[in-house]
């Protein structure tokens, strides 16, 4: 099949590349000439494990191409996927900014030839597909098309695997014809017996928000329980096992930490609250999820202060990991952005290490932070180590080496990578999240 993807951001690039890997002929379009030139040279705009090799392979085999010219790519396509950015609007009120979606729609509309399915892949508020259809009808009354919604459930750092082996594919369509086009696109997954859930378009749009809001709620739930464990002296890791093995609950997304971040959960929970508000409803559980997440970051500052004996002034802190999660260079809404400035404000000195995130971090964190290229170097003469993001390379630290180069022995593990027992035995003054 001939597929065109508009937008080579995270979602567009992964989607286009994986469709090419399915065997389809894919053209990825982006207005950013620089991005397209880089992609043509094999330079990725984001760090995502395995993506560069898959792009290279599919380009070589002639199934994947990149261009800034939308016209030809759209007129020859059977399906056009909209994967442009939908940032939180500049008003800061939780609304998604749909400017890029509507601009792209107008351009696509003018170029449509023959029956085409326009698919919303970006996370968009309920009702956006209706607006997209209206714009197409107004711009090109003769166009023969359907608008569908096909939300993505990709995790950064695991996106290729999530795309190739999804738990399910949700397709929101209003006609059997559009359904058949999407089923053909995803045919390689039928062979793996991946369930396809057909819904109407609005339901598919809302499903994405509900999925992310539920996962964010699970995290806020366990983060609150972790704080209670801290107060009681119970262990949240064992507790999470105890509840997670109940099939109705499930063990995933029950890892406490410094609060969820990234490009989806913070933005999508707020957008869902706005959607509900517009329909005269309040979603009190999601409101609490958002509040708990903000409080969790503040609690981490207190946790660090307490571990330092009540005062961070003049203390040298080594921060391991800055990105919102491992295997990405993404700093969007990373807890470090809230936690580190609060520590600096009280007079702490911070040296940080991150395997991929430093160049992004420099844009969003205060300039007083020093960066080093080696994790142990960050810990040299440190009073305390703060493990902020659970990169694999921090999972088996050489404790003897660490103690030798550190000045103090405080280890604050905001991801519960280690256990209190092993750290105490290794001679550290250890603090986890809900594991005291
Ligand atoms: C998420 C969804 O998982 C994905 O389906 C959606 O399409 C996009 O948003 P992503 O943001 O890449 O993906 O990362 P994810 O692995 O879900 O983690 C999000 C945040 O939650 C991270 O900050 C992570 O550290 C945090 N988290 C996750 C926890 O604190 N505890 C957990 O148990 C799981």
Mutate to test the pocket of ligand 1, among 15, 120, 155 (most ligand atoms within 8 A of CB): 155
For residue 65, the model assigns a pLDDT of 97
For residue 96, the model assigns a pLDDT of 79
State the chain's mean pLDDT as an integer: 96
Which residue's CA is minimally distant from atom 9 of ligand 1?
264
Query: Residue 261 C-alpha to ligand 1 middle, in angstroms?
Result: 7
264 given a catalytic annotation: yes
| pTM score, whole prediction | 0.95
Is residue 420 within 8 Å of 436, Cβ to Cβ? yes
Which residue's CA is minimally distant from atom 27 of ligand 1?
260
Which residue's CA is minimally distant from atom 17 of ligand 1?
155
Q: Exactly one of 18, 28, 229, 264 is catalytic; which is it?
A: 264
Mean of the pLDDT values across residues 152-170?
Answer: 95
Mutate to test the pocket of ligand 1, among 154, 260, 270, 336 (most ligand atoms within 8 A of CB): 260
Mean of the pLDDT values across residues 243-250?
Answer: 98
CATH 3.40.50.720 residue ranges for the chain: 2-199, 233-431
pLDDT tier for residue 90 given thresholds of 50, 70 and 90: low
Mean of the pLDDT values across residues 392-414?
Answer: 98
| Pairing verdict, β 2-6 and 370-371 | unpaired
Query: Residue 260 C-alpha to ligand 1 middle, in angstroms?
Result: 7
Q: Determine the straight-line distance between the first and last CA of the chain, rounded to whole angstroms.
A: 56
Q: What is the pLDDT of residues 332-383, one digit of tens each?
A: 999 999 999 999 999 999 999 999 999 999 999 999 999 999 999 999 999 9
pLDDT tier for residue 39 given thresholds of 50, 70 and 90: very high
For residue 353, the model assigns a pLDDT of 98
pLDDT tier for residue 253 given thresholds of 50, 70 and 90: very high
Query: Residue 155 C-alpha to ligand 1 middle, in angstroms?
Result: 7
Residue 260, pLDDT above cutoff 90: yes
Mean of the pLDDT values across residues 54-60?
Answer: 98
Mean of the pLDDT values across residues 99-105?
Answer: 94
For residue 401, the model assigns a pLDDT of 98
Which residue's CA is minimally distant from atom 20 of ligand 1?
260
Which residue's CA is minimally distant from atom 1 of ligand 1?
155
Query: Residue 191 C-alpha to ligand 1 middle, in angstroms?
Result: 28
Integer Cα distance of 428 and 157 in angstroms? 31
Integer Cα distance of 360 and 230 in angstroms? 33
Mean of the pLDDT values across residues 219-229?
Answer: 98
Per-residue CA distances from 431 to 298, 322, 384 (Å): 16, 19, 11
From the alpha carbon of 262, which atom of ligand 1 is closest?
11
Mean of the pLDDT values across residues 307-316?
Answer: 97
Per-residue CA distances from 434 to 279, 312, 394, 400, 424 (Å): 38, 22, 20, 25, 16
Residues with CB under 6 A from ligand 1: 152-156, 212, 215, 219, 253-255, 257, 260-262, 264-265, 324-325
Q: Domain 233-431 is of which CATH architecture?
A: 3-Layer(aba) Sandwich (3.40)
Mutate to test the pocket of ligand 1, among 223, 265, 388, 416 (most ligand atoms within 8 A of CB): 265
Full 3-state SS string of the chain: CEEEEECCCHHHHHHHHHHHHHCCEEEEECCCHHHHHHHHCCCCCCCCCCHHHHHHHHHHCCCEEEECCHHHHHHCCCEEEECCCCCECCCCCCCECCHHHHHHHHHHHHHCCCCEEEEECCCCCCCHHHHHHHHHHHHCCCCCEEEEECCCCCCCCCHHHHHHCCCCEEEECCCHHHHHHHHHHCHHHHCCCCCEEEECHHHHHHHHHHHHHHHHHHHHHHHHHHHHHHHHCCCHHHHHHHHHCCCCCCCCCCCCCCCCCCCCHHHHHHHHHHHHHHCCCCCHHHHHHHHHHHHHHHHHHHHHHHHCCCCCCCCEEEEECCCCCCCCCCCCCCCHHHHHHHHHHCCCEEEEECCCCHHHHHHHCCCCCEECCCHHHHHCCCCEEEECCCCHHHCCCCHHHHHHHCCCCEEEECCCCCCHHHHHHCCCEEECCCCC
Q: What is the CATH number of domain 2-199?
A: 3.40.50.720
Query: Residue 414 C-alpha to ligand 1 middle, in angstroms?
Result: 15
For residue 414, the model assigns a pLDDT of 98
From the alpha carbon of 154, which atom of ligand 1 is closest?
7
Residue 87, pLDDT above cutoff 90: no
Q: What is the pLDDT of residues 181-209, one digit of tens each?
A: 999 999 999 888 999 999 999 999 999 99
Quickly tell me which residue has 């000195």 as its tokens. 349
pLDDT tier for residue 402 given thresholds of 50, 70 and 90: very high
Which residue's CA is minimally distant from atom 25 of ligand 1?
325
Is residue 222 within 8 Å of 236, Cβ to Cβ? yes
pLDDT tier for residue 70 given thresholds of 50, 70 and 90: very high
From the alpha carbon of 219, which atom of ligand 1 is closest?
31
pLDDT tier for residue 91 given thresholds of 50, 70 and 90: low
Which residue's CA is minimally distant from atom 15 of ligand 1?
155
Between 384 and 92, the higher pLDDT residue: 384
């Amino acid at each position: 099949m001939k597929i065109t993807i508009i937008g080579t951001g995270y979602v567009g690039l992964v989607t286009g590349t994986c469709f090419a890997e399915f065997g389809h002929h894919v053209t990825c379009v982006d207005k950013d000439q620089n991005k397209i030139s880089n992609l043509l040279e094999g330079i990725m705009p984001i760090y995502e494990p395995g993506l560069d090799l898959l792009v290279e392979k599919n380009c070589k085999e002639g199934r994947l191409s990149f261009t800034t010219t939308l016209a030809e790519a759209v007129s020859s396509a059977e399906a056009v996927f909209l994967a442009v950015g939908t940032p939180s609007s500049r008003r800061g009120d939780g609304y998604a900014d749909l400017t890029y979606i509507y601009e792209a729609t107008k351009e696509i509309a003018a170029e449509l030839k023959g029956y085409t399915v326009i698919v919303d892949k970006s996370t968009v508020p309920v009702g956006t597909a209706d607006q997209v259809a209206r714009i197409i009808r107004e711009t090109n009354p003769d166009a023969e098309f359907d608008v569908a919604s096909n939300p993505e459930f990709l995790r950064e750092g695991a996106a290729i695997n999530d795309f190739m082996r999804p738990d399910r594919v949700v397709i929101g369509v209003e006609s059997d014809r559009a359904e058949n086009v999407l089923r053909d696109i995803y045919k390689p997954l039928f062979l793996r017996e991946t369930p396809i859930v057909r819904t109407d378009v609005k339901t598919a749009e809302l499903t994405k928000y509900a999925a992310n809001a539920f996962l964010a709620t699970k995290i806020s739930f366990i983060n609150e329980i972790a704080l209670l464990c801290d107060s009681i002296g119970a262990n949240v890791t064992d507790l999470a096992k105890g509840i997670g093995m109940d099939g109705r609950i499930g063990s995933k997304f029950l890892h406490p930490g410094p609060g969820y971040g990234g490009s989806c959960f913070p933005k999508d929970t707020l957008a869902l609250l706005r959607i509900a508000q517009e329909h005269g409803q309040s979603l009190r559980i999601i409101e609490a999820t958002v509040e708990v997440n903000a409080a969790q970051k503040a609690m981490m500052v207190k946790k660090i202060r307490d571990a330092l004996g009540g005062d961070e002034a003049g203390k040298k802190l080594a921060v391991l990991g800055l990105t919102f999660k491992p295997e990405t260079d993404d700093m969007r809404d990373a807890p470090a952005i809230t936690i580190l400035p609060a520590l600096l404000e009280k007079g702490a000195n911070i040296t940080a290490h991150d395997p991929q995130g430093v160049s992004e971090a420099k844009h969003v964190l205060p300039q007083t932070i020093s960066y080093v290229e080696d994790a142990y170097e960050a810990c040299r003469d440190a009073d305390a180590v703060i493990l902020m993001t659970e990169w694999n390379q921090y999972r088996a630290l050489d404790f003897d080496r660490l103690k030798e180069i550190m000045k103090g022995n405080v280890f604050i593990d905001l991801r519960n990578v280690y256990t209190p027992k092993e750290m105490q035995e290794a001679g550290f003054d250890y603090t986890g999240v809900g594991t005291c």
